[in-house]
Amino acid sequence: MTKNLEQIILQNLLYNEEYSRKVTPFLKAEYFHDRNEKTAFTIVQNFILTYNASPTPEVVLIEVDKLKTVTEDDFKQIASMLDSLSDDEVDFSWLTEQTENFCKDKAVYNAIMESIHIIDGESKTQNSNAIPEILSDALAVSFDTHVGHDYLEDSDDRYDFYHKVEKKVPFDLEYFNTITAGGTPQKTLNIIMAGTGVGKSLFLCHHAANCLSQNNNVLYITCEMAEERIAERIDANLLDMTIDNVQDLPKTIYNKKLNNLKSKIKGKLIVKEYPTATANVNHFRALLDELWMKKQFKPDIIFIDYLNICASARLKNGSNVNSYSYIKAIAEELRGMAVERSVPVFSATQVNRNGFNNSDVGLEDTSESFGLPATADFMIALISTEELEELNQIMVKQLKNRYNDVASNKKFLLGINRGKMKLYDVDHGSGDLTQSNQSASQDSGTGFNGKNFDSKFESKNSFESWSI
């Protein structure tokens, strides 16, 4: 039997002590619409407040049986509902967030209904002067009781924070693990910038495949290509075959290869397509909730392909909103989701018109919004030239890095196999990744192999010669 949110709340009040202690002070019987669920909750809440422990379903039924207002039919329905509740584990963060939203929505709804009764003269105890306070109290409902870090009193917590091992999602590329100090942390927004056809989606697909192969749960949201096209690219990467060869595989061989992957990979990859420029962060939040409810799927990392063709949840795209405000709003909303869901989010952006004519991309070349780099935690540019394409290589330039010193290893090369949708480390000779003369690279653009990339770039200044 499918449980509604109210029943999931009741279930965890009975079986999850941590959750019960967290939410009991904020829940009210009036938030429960169903009469029998309200009855069960009232008994559970009173028991918790009285005995500082959760009752068993049997205790709840005993207390229900004592109520004179409960009919025999009501008793049977409550008994059936309690019997359907189990101690199945539910993600704590997700459930707490859903419960908080439930309390807020119910509080606001009840406040509005109470205000209407007052306006209609149906209230015998309050007049219209009470309405602002009623609405204000409802809007103030929040589980966040934290009022700040007490520097002297909270020193133990601060010390523990200093020595906490931060959870990260690593790359399969040596250079990226070096510049990010081991991978991307949770609650971050990471941006790949490049021109059309350079490799934004390739990078996202490669890293998504890498994350899946590391047994992570991966959510890939595409606002540009069909779900099947993204999955096709993941196939090429993981099967180590060109896309053309994947398409030509007989079904029996294709199934055999996929079954082999299934036996090795414990994570899941979900690809979800939205029409271009229609989906915003609220659609993504709803998707995350639905994936958890229907599949018990919670992503360890999220890819959004790509930022510029998402919509904003706060602003309406139109003549009254400039591109700076609009793109920055989208970036802020995506980073907010990353923080809420405790996952790293990867997305991409286009270079602007100047970027197409600039052989050495910088932050100023961010398409449509210079506010985007201010919001991102990590941002790189992918740069392609005719020379590099002949060598099956692509240049990476760090633009912003909150994880490490952006001046170290500011530019480096990666191998690229566009047919197989793969990136790979390349041999940079005797140059040491961490000890190479990167102090010079900050000003001169020296790469890992000691070549001065900037001098080469300066000799090229047209879109005809360079692909950015």
Look at residue 132 in the predicted model and tell me its pLDDT. 83
The answer, yes or no, to whether residue 59 has pLDDT greater than 90, is yes
- Read off the pLDDT of residues 82-136 as tens digits, 9 standing for 90 and up: 999 888 888 888 888 899 999 999 989 989 998 998 888 888 777 778 888 888 8
The answer, yes or no, to whether residue 434 has pLDDT greater than 70, is no
Position 149 in a domain: no
Position 159 in a domain: no
Helix-then-strand count for the chain, H and E:
20, 12
Position 115 in a domain: yes
119 and 247 both lie in a single domain: no
Look at residue 137 in the predicted model and tell me its pLDDT. 79
- Read off the pLDDT of residues 208-235 as tens digits, 9 standing for 90 and up: 999 999 999 999 999 988 999 999 999 9
Q: Are 272 and 68 in contact (CB under 8 A)?
A: no
Domain count across the chain: 2
d(CA 154, CA 441): 42
- Read off the pLDDT of residues 174-193 as tens digits, 9 standing for 90 and up: 999 999 999 999 999 999 99
pTM of the model: 0.65
Position 396 in a domain: yes
d(CA 92, CA 20): 11
100 and 179 both lie in a single domain: no
Distance of CA 324 to the CA centre of its chain: 23
Q: What is the CATH number of the domain that holds 30?
A: 1.10.860.10
What mean pLDDT is predicted for residues 196-213? 93
Position 373 in a domain: yes
302 and 439 both lie in a single domain: yes
Structure tokens belonging to residue 455: 């001098």
d(CA 395, CA 385): 9
Look at residue 181 in the predicted model and tell me its pLDDT. 92
Q: How many C-beta neighbours within 10 Å does residue 177 have? A: 16
156-170, 196-210, 348-362: least confident range: 348-362
Who's near 194: CB < 8 A, 6+ residues apart? 200, 203, 348, 350, 351, 381, 382, 383, 384, 468
36 and 124 both lie in a single domain: yes
Q: Please, which pLDDT band fits residue 455 given cuts at 50, 70 and 90?
A: very low
User: Which position has the higher pLDDT, 361 or 231?
Assistant: 231
Q: How many C-beta neighbours within 10 Å does residue 461 have? A: 12
Position 163 in a domain: no
99 and 10 both lie in a single domain: yes
456 and 399 both lie in a single domain: yes
- Read off the pLDDT of residues 372-430 as tens digits, 9 standing for 90 and up: 888 899 999 998 888 889 999 999 999 899 998 888 888 899 999 999 999 999 876 54
Look at residue 374 in the predicted model and tell me its pLDDT. 83
The answer, yes or no, to whether residue 196 has pLDDT greater than 80, is yes
- Read off the pLDDT of residues 4-41 as tens digits, 9 standing for 90 and up: 889 999 999 999 988 998 888 889 999 998 999 999 99
Look at residue 64 in the predicted model and tell me its pLDDT. 93
- Read off the pLDDT of residues 267-282 as tens digits, 9 standing for 90 and up: 999 999 999 888 899 8
Angle (nearest 5°) at CA 110 between 108 and 115: 95
The answer, yes or no, to whether residue 63 has pLDDT greater than 70, is yes
409 and 330 both lie in a single domain: yes
130: number of CA atoms within 13 Å, CB side? 15
85 and 232 both lie in a single domain: no
Q: Where are the beta strands (DSSP E) in 182-233?
A: 184-185, 188-194, 218-222
Position 146 in a domain: no
Position 151 in a domain: no
Look at residue 247 in the predicted model and tell me its pLDDT. 92
236: phi > 0 → left, psi -120 to 50 → alpha, else beta; which? Answer: alpha
Sign of CA dihedral 304, 307, 310, 314: positive
Domain coverage including residue 279: 168-467
Q: Are 393 and 415 in contact (CB under 8 A)?
A: yes
- Read off the pLDDT of residues 287-339 as tens digits, 9 standing for 90 and up: 998 898 888 899 999 999 889 889 888 887 665 777 778 888 899 999 999 99
Q: What is the CATH number of the domain that holds 213?
A: 3.40.50.300
